[in-house]
Amino acid sequence: MSISISSSASPRIAVIGAGPAGLMAAERIARQGLAVEVFDAMPSVARKFLLAGVGGMNITHAEDYADFVSRYGNASHWLRPMLDDFTPDNLRSWIHELGIETFVGTSNRVFPKDMKAAPLLRAWLHRLRSQGVSIHPRHRWQGWQMENGKQIWRFSTPEGEKHQQFDAVVLALGGASWPRLGSDGQWYSLLTQQGVSIAPLLPSNCGFELPWSDFIRERFGGTPLKNIALSLTDIHGQPWCRKGEFIVSQYGIEGSLVYALSAPLRDLMLSKQSEKQPGKQSDKPAQLWLDWLPQNSHEQIISKLQQPRKGMSFANVLRKKLNLPAITNALLKECCPELDLHDHQAVAGALKSMPLPCPTSTRPLAEAISSAGGVTQNAVNEDLMLSALPGVFVAGEMLDWEAPTGGYLLTACFASGKRAGDGVCNWLASHSE
């Protein structure tokens, strides 16, 4: 499929998807004095952006830039030029131009001063409309059809199906997580049919199902574990270790610390499952290790265990001597059933490196905070234009990258939206000469 450039002096440009990536692309195009229309399936724009800001709008991060870029893992090399062109500092300056102040909170996370997404979005939409950007809600893209030898874009609307022709298009339809907010991944089959290379969409920043006993599920489901650490060794033999907190849920584990390790854990789990095929053997179980006391050394724990117990039970020793919650004793019994509770060395070792049950699956993609996979790097040029569909650009979570929650996700969406919007302007200029 190709898009024919119209003979009109003013090209018609569409952005499909009104999240951060799409709106940023629209702004970049409008800044060049070009008319741009934004289409979105939902009744209002940026619904996922707004929901993500309910608990505090982590917009980006203020850590060392090299460390920031490394958070994107295997996609760091691909995203680096886009992030260089729209750095976290650039993003903060852009927010300040909208009249929204920001501050650096804990762990170098950056937030709007009022911790909300809505004021930022309102100011942004006001500026977009002043730039001439028009927004069409309740327009769900359905694909293409030919009319009189021309490629036509089809949208379903409350008034029926509408057909549109454009000179250039930015697709910013999100991944496939939180489909109730608009990111349902329906674009996957439409682009695949056009020969676009797309990596499978997988859950990212997600929970995992673990085979807990009925006792753990019923007695401790919903219990938060705080000030602990999780570690694993990924499919490349690289060790990972993160500190923080997560929740023991009835189905398994979830929460910020689990999300931070979701990419290597998911890939390890999928690799293990593939190795179960006939003739293959798995030597890399999808194993997570829990450190209950990351602030204490092995020797310090032994010292506390050796203190006089005065008739205390083992559960009370954990609670009073080590300040550990009741769930610790229950999980030690479940995860280390042969542990000798009188062996201080062994108990300290279990507390520093307790093996959790191997996950059986991720939670469904619809529950994930974000998705991995998408349009691959080799399917687009440097301006994010699809090689198979000249004049069509892709931005945001539709691209094949993933990142930890919060500011990392948003910064890359903004940066790729900017790259795609600028790419549209460059492409139209080259075709008007």
d(CA 105, CA 114): 12
> b/e map of 234-267 (b: 16 or more CB within 10 Å)?
beeeeebebebebbbbebbbbbebbbbbbbbbbb
> What is the C-alpha radius of gyration for the chain, rounded to an integer number of angstroms?
25
Which residues lie below 8 Å from residue 260, measured CB to CB, with a gap of 6+?
242, 244, 404, 405
Closest CA to 180 of 47, 326, 14, 302: 47
pLDDT in tens, 421-430: 999 999 999 9
- Which CATH architecture is the domain 13-204+366-432 placed in? 3-Layer(bba) Sandwich (3.50)
| Cβ contact 391:169 at 8 Å | yes
Return the domain boundaries, the chain.
13-204+366-432, 208-362
User: What per-residue confidence (pLDDT) applies to 212?
Assistant: 97
User: What's the predicted TM-score (pTM) here?
Assistant: 0.90
Closest CA to 359 of 286, 258, 289, 290: 286
Closest CA to 168 of 414, 415, 383, 411: 383
d(CA 268, CA 291): 20
Instruction: Give me the sheet containing 392-394, strands edge to edge.
Output: 134-136, 36-39, 13-16, 168-171, 392-394
User: What is the number of helices (H) and of strands (E) in the chain?
Assistant: 15, 20
User: What per-residue confidence (pLDDT) applies to 309?
Assistant: 83
Closest CA to 166 of 136, 121, 127: 136
Within the chain, which residues score under 70 in pLDDT? 1-9, 53, 55, 274-284, 433
pLDDT in tens, 372-398: 999 999 999 999 999 999 999 999 999
Closest CA to 428 of 398, 394, 390: 390
User: What per-residue confidence (pLDDT) applies to 229?
Assistant: 98
3-state DSSP assignment of residue 303: helix
DSSP state of 161: E
Question: What are the tokens at 393?
Answer: 């650009």
Q: Give strand ranges (E) for 10-132.
A: 13-16, 36-39, 60-61, 102-104, 109-112
